[in-house]
Each structure stands twice: as C-alpha cells, then as structure tokens.
Amino acid sequence: MVAPVHVWVAPAGAEPRAAAHTLLLELAGTLVRAPRLSHSPDGQPLVPGLAVSVSHTHQLVAVVASYGGPLGVDLEEAYPREVQALARRWFTAEELAWTNRQPDELIAFLQLWTAKEAVGKALGRGLRGAGLRRAMPLGGGVVESEPHLLVTYVPWSGAVLALAAPVCLTEIVVHHESPVSPVAGFSRLGTAGPRDRRASPTLDPPCARG
C-alpha cells in the first residue's frame, strides 16, 4: 500500500519560520516517534524516517511529510501584484502563452511559479541551476525533465499551494482548521480566511535571480 502525502496548513503568526518548524514537528509526530528536526547545509529541513518540506508566507505556513519521497511544497498568497515582468523573464514561451490564455493570469502565474519552487525543493536544489527556467506541466502533471515527479495543486482559498511528489504517491491528505466538502482526488481540503496583502517573501527580487 502506498503511503499518502500529508499536507498541513496553518496561520503563520508573528514568526512564520518558527511556526513552520513547529507545525512540521507536530505533523511528523503523527508519523514517527520522537521526531527530530535538523537542516542540511543548504537549509533543507530533515526529519529522520520521513520525506518533508516546508513553505511559508506572511500569513500561512504549509508543511508536507510522507514515508516516501522526495517531496517539495510551495505556497503563495493570491493578492494582486505585477507579475508580467517576472513571467517574461523566467517562463518558457509555452508557459508564457499558457498564462496569457488563462481567465486569471495571476493564478496561472502563481501555479507555475510555485510548481518550479516545489520541484526545486523536491530535487534538493531549490531554484539554483536555472530552476526558474525548468519547464513545468501546464495546470499540473508529470514534470517532463523529471518524470519521477508529479506536480499537484492543493485547493486553498486565497492562495496557490503546489506539491511535488513521486508519481507513485497519489493520495494527498490535507489537515486544516475548518473542514470543507472534499473535492475529487483529495481526502480533505482546506480553507483560510482573509489575509493582509503584504509583499511576498518568495517573489522578492533576490529570490528571482535563478
């Protein structure tokens, strides 16, 4: 039986990084005994016995864990912002054309951006090595250059959450504060309330150098 991928999302509070670490240990504690969190030299979170990944914005933190990996998660709040310059700089011609065809260009942009981040985390490289130029499956799916990885978008109100996981890990279990009706392909889904529209920590210029 294939182990599911567990996705937990919670408010970030005053210290998003600390909140993400606390939430990850809480999740890990449901899967292994006495989990210990450390980090690789590149800052990647490590929990013995699990594949894990974390992401946070000013308002939300997301953590994922599974007995199988690798895993990568990335989260972006969907508040209005100018993204066309970044899209023209980093996206492939096919990706750019796809975003321009979508009814909501911002959501389409964030889907591709979070997918690139999530895949980079799953590969253990982040966005180094031309990670932003790595072509993503449009709307989710198997990554052409990394066919062992599947990109899935976990529905979340007011945000885009991308998960990169092995193609064999097809069950996603999402833990949240307020239950909502399940959607096909997911055991549980999450909701979140209104958020402040502040600058994104992952779309600031230093994070977009590739």
pLDDT tens digits for range 139-187:
999 999 999 999 999 999 899 999 999 998 768 999 865 333 223 233 3
- Tokens found for residue 12: 């970030």
**Residue pair 167/175 in contact by the 8 Å Cβ criterion:** no
> For residue 125, what pLDDT is reported?
80
pLDDT of 206 over the 80 cut: no
> For residue 129, what pLDDT is reported?
63
Between 128 and 36, name the one with better pLDDT.
36
pLDDT tens digits for range 176-198:
653 332 232 333 323 333 333 33
For residue 191, the one-letter residue type is T
- Tokens found for residue 94: 């096919």
